[in-house]
Structure formats: structure tokens, C-alpha cells
Amino acid sequence: MSKKPLVFVTGNANKLKEVRAILSLGTPIEIESKDLDIPEVQGSTQDVAREKCRRAAELVSGACITEDTALCFKALNGLPGPYIKYFLKELGHDGLNKLIVGFPTTDAWALCTFAYSPGPGAEPLLFEGRTDGRIVLPRGPKDFGWDPVFEAEETGKTYAEMSIEEKNGLSHRYRALEKLRAHLVSLDNN
């Protein structure tokens, strides 16, 4: 990979901060961000990530990464999934809990899909990470999406209750970025 910074297409400052922190571990990967208005297709997390990355590569005329995050409720067969941002906006943290009242499980998983494109016309590669957990009543600061209602498995804490380092060491985003990092490092070594 060239020494030109990789473009992360996001307008979310919290995501950018997490991505930079995770990708600075080991051999640092330089990231710059661009906030582009790219319509999201309807479909699976993978479809959304792939299409967003194709369009972003055209708009930046070069290599880029995009990210799509899903929060999937077992009781709802994986919904809200990639639509979690809209569910959270309309229902709030408490409303997310109300969606599964009466169901026998609060199990959920957080899924992150990073798409990488070396440039326009190239088929994006996908890198996924998953963290299992459950939906709980909101705990912790409410300043980063659905973090207050997702308790990561075997931690007893929501993402919002964790330190940045703790979350970045086990999150769905971390797991996807580790795979992306390995790919980018392999490009540098070729």
C-alpha cells in the first residue's frame, strides 16, 4: 500500500477516534477522514458496506474504507441489524429494550463490517467482527449510539461503561479492524 493516508469515509467523530486508536497499534496506519453523503442501499450489512465502499472509492478517486455496524437481536431474528441507527433515533435506548419485552431472550450480537477498496472499479473486500452479548437497560454515558444498552458477553459491562482501551480490545469494530489491518500490512509487504 502506498504511504498516502487511507481515507475512512465517516462523519462520526467517535468512530473515527476508535478506528485511529485501533489502527495505531503495532505498525501505525495513517487514516484521514472524509464526510461524504452516500445513500445506503437496503439489504444486509454486507450489501450496505460493499455498495457504500464502491461509491466512496469513486468519490475519493482512490483507496478507502467504509464501515457499517449492526446490532442484531436474537429474539427478532437479527433485526434491527444494519437499521439500528434509525431504530435508535426513533425509539431511543429505552425503546430498544421495549422491542424485546415478552421474548424469551435478550441475547444480541454486535456486527461490524469494514469494506476496503483500493480504488474506483475494484470490488470491495469485506472484514467482519462480531461480539456476542445481550440487550440491557441503559447503563453508562449515552453519547455514543447504542453502547449503553449492549452488554458484551462475560464482561458484566455495557460498552458505555467500559474504558476506551477495554472496549477497543474486544469490540466488534476491533475484531473487524484486526482483519483489515492484517490485509493492509500484507499489501505493504508485497
Q: Which residues are annotated as a binding site for Mg(2+)?
A: 40, 68
DSSP string, 63-125: -EEEEEEEEEEGGGTT-EETTHHHHHHHHHHHHHHHTTTTSS--EEEEEEEEEEESSTTSPPE
Binding site: what residues are annotated?
10-15, 40, 52, 68-69, 144-147, 167, 172-173
Of 123, 135, 127, the closest CA to residue 173 belongs to 127
Binding site for ITP: what residues are annotated?
10-15, 52, 68-69, 144-147, 167, 172-173
Give the three-state DSSP class for 173.
helix
What sign does the CA torsion over 140, 143, 149, 151 have? negative
